[in-house]
Structure 1
Amino acid sequence: MRSKFAAAGLVLLAVLGFGTASAGTDSSGGPRSRLDLVLQRGEVKVCSTGDYRPFTYLDPATGQWSGIDLELAADLAQRLGVRATIVPTTWKTLMDDLGRKCDLGMGGISVTLDRAKAGFFSEPYLRDGKTPITRCENAGRFQTLAQIDQPGVRAIVNPGGTNEQFADANLKQATIVRHPDNNTIFQEVIAGRADLMITDATETRWQAKQHPELCAVHPDQPFTFSEKAYLLPRGDVVLQEWVDQWLHLALNDGTFTRITTPWLG
């Protein structure tokens, strides 16, 4: 169904002259895909926040990038026959940077309707959802949203993403603590300066593995349903279809499993 509606939309845009993803024209005078520009310059630019392990991490000491989606970005570039350049972004500026500073966004990006207004998504590659992580001695206290949303409970969030949106929508009595650095946010919970964080179940599992003091609370039964996918400029069906085909192959030829197993088990 998506391809039928997308094709109809592109016909209408072409008639009206509104090719939103057009970056020039091809030899026939039609809109040129960003895929053609990537191949021409021999480089694919990937926006990533670098603060959301295990998907993306930028080490401030060494400047080195790591994570599931950074390794998958390298595979994408290799199969495309170009080099990958990672462009730092933030959750607040990701949508503005997409198409301006980079060709696509990768790094544990959740599919949302708001983001879909401004960009295209690839096919999803991971199912996820919001769930708490807290010090292990408090895991029994924070099983439900009703238990969490109580006066005196401090729920910490990183600004600009879906974690903040979820907290703002669901926590009316608890105190929401906004912490600007997602790389150090879990230390705030360990140190007792916050009681818990509600984030994606995949992240809670990863952080609990790194910090024995922390426990993921029912990560197999999160509060919400969400999916991870890659973010692409709106209107560029050619690039979207190529990324979808690459992802389909990676999910089925062993590439995705080989890359994710060391991170997720």
Structure 2
Amino acid sequence: MLHLSRFTRQALVWLVAAASLSVSLQSRADDTSSWQSVKKAGVLRCGAAVAPPYVMRDAKTGAYSGFFADLCRDFGQNVLKVKVEFVDTTWDNIVAGLQSEKWDLSMALNDTPEREKAVAFSSGATDYNVSFVYNKNNPKIPQTVRTIADIDKPGVIVAVMSGTSQDKAISAVLKQAQIMRLPGNDETRLALISKRADLLADANITNMLLTEAHPEWAVGFNPMPPLAQQEVAFGLRKDTTAADIDVLNKYLNQQVTSGAVNRLIKTSVQAMLAANK
């Protein structure tokens, strides 16, 4: 066995301690560097395009709600310890605005290969697919809709929010039906309700709100296999560091596994249904 002098043993102890301190300090430095620009500004800017129940906006007060708005607010206030500001945008501009640094996070963005070329994504907060809603009394629509072919017919008009993932999804599968592209959720719903459109294509959760609010006439159709199955996540700028994305992902994963996201979704759905009464 090798015998070390007292001086040598003390030197080794100090060396190990110094190395441990260096690792600890580096870890703390990495922690404090995460989201540094946001912390320095004192505000987290969340790009908000309306799509109930993901993102909702009170027309009178301008206040934002919906489960993605709740997640963005909670992440900013309780994780980053900064104020949260919601920046109005549209689905046509939600990626471009993020790229031009008009906000720090884009809310409720579908993670698609095309978008991954332009922006980075967090882990998913929930799943998404495209469904359709129609008036059961509409003579253009069969009594029982089983496939896309049942609604993809000349003279059938499908309303959709322009620039959204659902717009891209139905554009790929509808070859004969006419697609009516409108700027927002209110416009697409009004088109269906006023019978200017025969069907509304939207996110599965959003369309569930419509059928539950109007069971007397609204019928949902969910294609099988699911159309455009994707994760719904936060969009971040392409140059966002891995450390920053990891901080957000840890927060989101905790919210998902704890059941908090499901509770927020239910709360948002109930708020929408109450507002429509």
- Counterpart for residue 189 of structure 2: 186
Change beyond 3 A, Cα 1:125–1:167: same
How far apart in 2 are the matches of 1:70 and 1:143? 35
AA paired with 2:219? C
Question: Based on CA coordinates, which of the two structures has the bigger radius of gyration?
Answer: 2
The aligned counterpart of 1:9 is: none
Aligned to 1:47: 47
Once the two structures are TM-superposed, the CA of residue 166 in structure 1 deviates from its matched residue by 1.8
Q: 1:59 aligns to what?
A: 58
Distance in 2 between the 1:71 and 1:220 partners?
31
| 1:238 Cα deviation after fit | 2.1
CA deviation after TM superposition for structure 1 residue 141, in Å? 4.7
**2:162 aligned to 159, 162, 182, which one?**
159
Q: Distance in 2 between matches of 1:206 and 1:250?
A: 23
1:103 is matched with: 104
Number of matched pairs: 233
Mark the CA change 1:61 to 1:230 in structure 2 (over 3 Å): closer, same or farther.
same
Question: Percent identity between the aligned chains?
Answer: 27
Specify the code of the residue in structure 2 equivalent to 1:55: Y
For the structure 1 residues 141 and 177, does the alpha-carbon distance in structure 2 shift closer, same or farther, using more than 3 Å as the test? farther
Q: Deviations over 1:101-154 (max 9, x none)?
A: 111111x32111111101111111212211211113447354311111111111
CA distance in 2 between partners of 1:118 and 1:82 (Å) = 27
Tell me whether 1:261 sits opposite 2:260 in the alignment.
Answer: no
Using structure 2 for the length normalisation, give the TM-score.
Answer: 0.77
Partner of 1:233: 237
Query: After the TM superposition, which segments of 4 or more aligned residues of structure 1 sit over 6 Å from their partners?
Result: none
Structure 2: gaps of 5 or more residues? 1-31, 271-277
Return the offset for 1:59.
2.5
Question: 1:87-108 CA deviation, whole Å, 9 max, x = no partner?
Answer: 11111111111141111111x3
Report the aligned-residue RMSD.
Answer: 2.3
- Work out whether 1:250 is the aligned partner of 2:249: no
Residue 204 (structure 2) pairs with residue 201 (structure 1):
yes
**1:122-161 equivalences in 2 (<5 Å):** 122-137=122-137, 138=141, 140-161=143-164
Q: Deviations over 1:142-195 (max 9, x none)?
A: 431111111111111111111221222221211111222322311221221111
Q: Give the distance between the partners of 1:264 and 1:142, measured in 2 at CA.
A: 25
The verdict on how the C-alpha distance between 1:160 and 1:39 changes in structure 2, with shifts beyond 3 A counting, is same
**By how many angstroms is 1:221 displaced?**
5.6
Cα deviation for residue 45 of structure 1 reads 0.6
User: Structure 2 vs 1, CA of residues 220 and 125 (structure 1 numbering), >3 Å: closer, same or farther?
Assistant: farther
State the secondary structure of the residue aligned to 1:73.
helix
Tell me the residue number matched to 2:12: none
How far 1:258 sits from its partner (Å)? 3.1
Query: Do the aligned partners of 2:57 and 2:64 also contact (CA within 8 Å) in 1?
Result: yes
Unaligned runs of 5+ in 1: 1-31
Which shifted more, 248-257 or 136-145? 136-145
Q: Are positions 1:118 and 2:118 aligned together?
A: yes
Partner Cα distance (1:257, 1:220) in 2: 24
| Counterpart for residue 6 of structure 1 | none
What SS does structure 2 have at the residue aligned with 1:85?
A: strand
